[in-house]
Amino acid sequence: MSLRYQINLRILLCLSLIVLVAGPITLWQARESVSREVASSVNLAAQLIKLNFTPLQPGRVDIDHWLPNFISLEQTRHLKIQLKKPDGQVVKFTSGRKAGQPNPPPQWFVSWVSAAYPAMEQALITTDGSTLTLSISADPFDEVCEAWRESQDFFGTLALMAMLILTAVNLLFNTTLKSINIIVQGLEAIEQGDYQHKLPDFATSEYQSIAKAINHMTAVLHAANRENRALASHSLEIQEDERKRLSQELHDDLGQSLTAIKVMAVALKQNPADNTKIPDTIVEICDHLIGVVRSMMRNLHPLVLTELGLKATLEDLVHYWAARQPGLRVMLECQDNVDELENKTAIQLFRMVQEGITNIVRHAQANQAVITLTVSRSGRQKVLKLIISDNGQGCPPDRLKAGFGLLGLRERVKSMGGDFKINSQPGAGLSISAEIPVS
């Protein structure tokens, strides 16, 4: 059911309710108005008879002189005045009902507003001594016609207002739905990946606020999409560089060492007597190969992580960098309960610390780095907090998003449902923190 249909239906229901309530009230008011007007006319006629009755002789009245002035009054339009002889024959009469009344009310309306009205009779003796009866009764036809016209005006005005309201609402809906269609089309374009699409400005402030929010969201999605594409491209480059490096190491170290061992084994086979130096050389080559293989295994996957846990693996990583970078002092603050973390969480944390130290070595020009790893409870949820800070040259805020190392750290934290923050100022070092919910 469309919104336009729902609003129009509710407006019609409200108007119908108004008609249902106002109809009986209007009829009741019309009935009361007719009753009051007719009663007032009858009472006025009675008062006029008493005040303006000026007989020529005591107890006698000149009908021909007095009655025309009486019935010419405007108020007598609601009265029926008759002069009757003693035998009931009508001598003269007048009535407020006009001939040819336009737009007469329907009979049901007349029945609804009509009621029992007062009447009066007055005995008169004419100048010639005859006795007549003056009969005054109500004739509410004119007042009923007026009430019918007023009711028609009321309900006509109500119908006109209803038409105006429905027209105004539908005109407003045309503008509203046009704006909504533009917004929906913009969202569909964003859904298809068109992050360059921008919503236009709207005259309505509410739609303008929605358009600004959507345009801001589109800009953020566009920036995130660019970052993700750049990160994916960079990840592929790193993968290819890693494969190239492994291939070079296998070729240079393993290949040459195995070739040398083979050559010495052939030489020893051809000349068994000359075996004083060859075994020692083979042992040295094998020790070198063991070191190369261990280095490759550490880079591919630290076996100590599975065997001894995350804390021991991080300590081994710190010792490894301390041997390679004597000018950088790396301090590790790690709780013992980190070894209780799931393996997938532990390997992610290891990679994050590994990437953080690598960034410090490559870019920070620092002589001290601190790594803090704690697990605490926040309500019913355990929270893992990792902080990696250094005292290096820092980085301007506008360049924090340019590095793929920090971008990779952010994406790792987001993939684990955590919050990632960076704090840095030029010359004041750099600090990254991550809060990750863990089970």
CA distance 364 to 390: 8
Side chain identity, residue 50: K
**Over the stretch 80-128, which tens digit does the pLDDT of each residue have?**
777 777 777 776 555 445 545 556 788 888 777 777 776 777 777 766 7
pTM: 0.48
CA distance 56 to 196: 106
Q: Can you tell me the mean pLDDT for 341-365?
A: 87
Q: In what order do the strands lie in the sheet with 131-138?
A: 90-95, 79-84, 131-138, 120-125
Q: What is the per-residue pLDDT for 370?
A: 93
Q: What is the per-residue pLDDT for 1?
A: 64
CA distance 147 to 37: 11
For 400, the 3-state DSSP assignment is coil
Of 165 and 64, the one with more pLDDT: 165
pLDDT of 219 > 70? The answer is: yes
Q: What is the per-residue pLDDT for 57?
A: 45
- Asked whether 7 and 165 are in contact (CB, 8 A), the reply is no
pLDDT of 55 > 80? The answer is: no
Reported as a pLDDT band with limits 50, 70 and 90, residue 56 is very low
Torsional sign, CA 336, 339, 342, 345: positive
**Over the stretch 122-159, which tens digit does the pLDDT of each residue have?**
777 766 777 777 777 777 777 788 788 888 888 888 88
Query: Could you write out the DSSP letters of every residue in 302-321?
Result: -HHHHHH-HHHHHHHHHHHH
- Asked whether 386 and 434 are in contact (CB, 8 A), the reply is yes
